[in-house]
Amino acid sequence: MRRSFLPQVDPLSRNEQLKLVQQARLGDKDAKIKLFASLQGLIIKNILKPLGISKDLWPDAIQSAYIGFEKALVLYDPSKRSKENGELVKFSTYALYWMENFVRRGVKQEGFVKLINSTSLEEFASRRDGSEEAGENEIMLRYRAQEKDPTYKEATRSLFRDILFEVMEESLTPREREILVLHFGLDGEKSLTQREIAQRLGVCPARIWAIKERALEKLRLHLLKRYPSLKFLLQ
């Protein structure tokens, strides 16, 4: 099912949403699609635009929102009332909370890989705090060695790319590495969306999302452990 840029559905009343929630919980896929489609305008207006997510990243962001939508579908209590006005909480209001959480999580998780892949060694050198933390000397020694290479100016980010691949090799499974390489275009090819990766590997997009999130967290923790001086990129 295509979960990004679904046909627009007019906003639904609380009772209409509740009916679709009940049907979706009973396994009605059409009801589930219609309910999520009715939220797409809210996702764009209240999550994607305020977070400044560029349109080319919307498909993956909406996929992350869908994971939050599914969680909200399970946890939503139609009898819950708002603490502010005492009115019954609409599913859309409740779902927005979970969808934003999952979109923010995706943005944060992916951000450090993009930063490492685009940070120059000169920037790293300028951000050093002089504490000689573990792993920092290794980076700087490699930096100075490459700095003397006359061809180095043609690839100023090669060291960080090497570090990224080294830690990926140490900490991730082959499938996790494959998904990150495809998703971020780390092999020099065009980066793929989660849906495109799912189609290539023959699995559902939600499965790709789960593997990617797990892989990114493992990678971040291993990078922090081995190279604490990279923390300004990893926080």
pLDDT of 149 higher than 90? no
pLDDT of 206: 82
Global confidence as pTM = 0.65
pLDDT, tens digit, 9 for 90 and up, residues 190-211: 889 888 999 999 998 888 988 9
> SS3 of 80, please?
coil
Return the domain boundaries, the chain: 14-107, 119-234
pLDDT, tens digit, 9 for 90 and up, residues 36-86: 999 999 999 999 999 888 887 888 888 889 989 999 999 999 999 888 888
Burial annotation 104-132 (CB, 10 A radius, 16+ → b, else e): ebbbebbebbeebeebebeebeeeeeeee
pLDDT of 134 higher than 50? no
Which residues fall within 8 angstroms of residue 64, CB to CB, at 6 or more apart? 99, 102, 103, 105, 106, 209
pLDDT of 1: 41
pLDDT of 19: 96
Residue 197 to residue 179: CA distance in whole angstroms: 7
pLDDT of 182 higher than 60? yes
User: Mean pLDDT throughout 104-121?
Assistant: 69
3-state secondary structure 25-39: HCCCHHHHHHHHHHH
Fold of 119-234: Arc Repressor Mutant, subunit A (1.10.10)
pLDDT of 232: 59
